[in-house]
Amino acid sequence: MALRWMIYGAYGYSGTLISKQAKKRGYSPFLAGRNANKLNSLAEQLELPAREFSLDNAEQITEQLTDIDLVINCAGPFSHTAAPLMNACITSHTHYLDITGEIDIFEYAHQLNDKAQKNNVVLCPGVGFDVIPTDCVAARLNAQMPDATYLKLGFDSGSRMSRGTAKTSIERLGQGGAARIDGTIEQVPLAWKSQQIDFGQGKKMAMTIPWGDVSTAYYTTEIPNIEVYIPASPRLIKRLKRLNWVRWIFNWQWVQRKLKEKVDAQSAGPDEQERNDNPTFVWGEVSNTRGDRKELRVKVKNGYSVTAEGAVELAIFTLKNSTKGGFYTPSRLYGAKLLDNYVID
């Protein structure tokens, strides 16, 4: 049976990498998006079918998906695209994956679990670097310590952000940080906590960030307290702590617009050489009420390479397996063995 699937937002930085990976593996997904010129240019380059449509009209989206078995949404910010596409997928009985790292999107997808189960539709956001490696590390640590009550995750990479990731970070800045505390996601200050962490290259100062695992790792492990860290200099941590007093200005539209204009002036994202030269170091730690601790460190491919390969792998896995409908995290959908695809020496 032919696999009929679609990559929406295919001409963006990550979408292009995913589209090329699909072609490389011998698949022929439909490439889709709202910009006809960019879409057709990529489709001609890769010799893949194209389908132009926007996400403004629910009926139109559903109509475009009636003959599609699965969609990978690569069109960010996902705060604008995920909800309409998820709901259309449920209506059209189309599995939905995306590459978001936005906590609110994971939570929204989880809220749609019952509807997805009823229509036998898989909802699995976060099938890229956000959050495949950290989600799998969380699952493996939880297996080693089933009674864990605290989970800390983190990653370290020298790779630059893509424009899409940078814009998403700008949108989130005014909200501050986030952590899961006693089972509930709580808003916390920017750089809420800091500590020395060895991600795999020696100890570095690190700070908490509002990463997607604050949502997803809870559904993977049921551990009630979750924090995510990245390296940060003491100077940056101090600046962000001061910024908490005025971070509300980042919610102003004109401030966001100015910051995003600066992002648009930059290159789309790291090139192939930069991706190859910048792997990612992923770290996790669990602890329980007795004070027992376990750590896990892995070195994986560059985040954008993980996104390209992981999105295609999970799409094909979903299409080829009779997975029951509902909300999934990557490790719950595929298993924590998914991590092994991206570990490097």
Domains of the chain, each with CATH number or no CATH: 5-129+305-341 (3.40.50.720), 132-302 (3.30.360.10)
- Residue 238 and residue 216: Cα distance in Å, rounded? 29
Contact criterion met (CB below 8 Å) for 159 and 302: yes
Q: Which of 282, 284, 258, 109 is nearest to 173 (CA)?
A: 258
pLDDT for 257 equals 79
pLDDT for 77 equals 85
* 24 token code pair: 């490389």
Contact criterion met (CB below 8 Å) for 330 and 136: yes
Q: Which of 18, 294, 233 is nearest to 129 (CA)?
A: 18
Residues of the chain with pLDDT under 70: 1-2, 159-174, 248, 250-251, 255, 259, 263, 266-268
The structure tokens 């370290």 sit at 156
Say how many residues make up the chain.
Answer: 345
Burial 301-340 (b: 16+ CB within 10 A, else e): bbbbbbbbbbbbbbbbbbbeeebebbbbbbbbbbebebbe
pLDDT for 56 equals 94
> Cα dihedral angle (207, 213, 214, 218), rounded to 10 degrees?
-140
Contact criterion met (CB below 8 Å) for 240 and 207: yes
* 300 token code pair: 């994986």
Helix (H, G, I), strand (E, B) or coil at 90: helix
C-alpha distance across the termini of the chain, in Å: 37
Q: Which residues pair with 306 in a beta bridge?
A: none
pLDDT for 339 equals 97
* 209 token code pair: 């960030």
Q: How many helices (H) and strands (E) does the chain have?
A: 14, 15
**Cα separations in angstroms, 47 against 19, 50, 51, 183, 272:** 11, 9, 13, 47, 21
Contact criterion met (CB below 8 Å) for 115 and 92: no
pLDDT for 170 equals 66
Identity of residue 150: Y
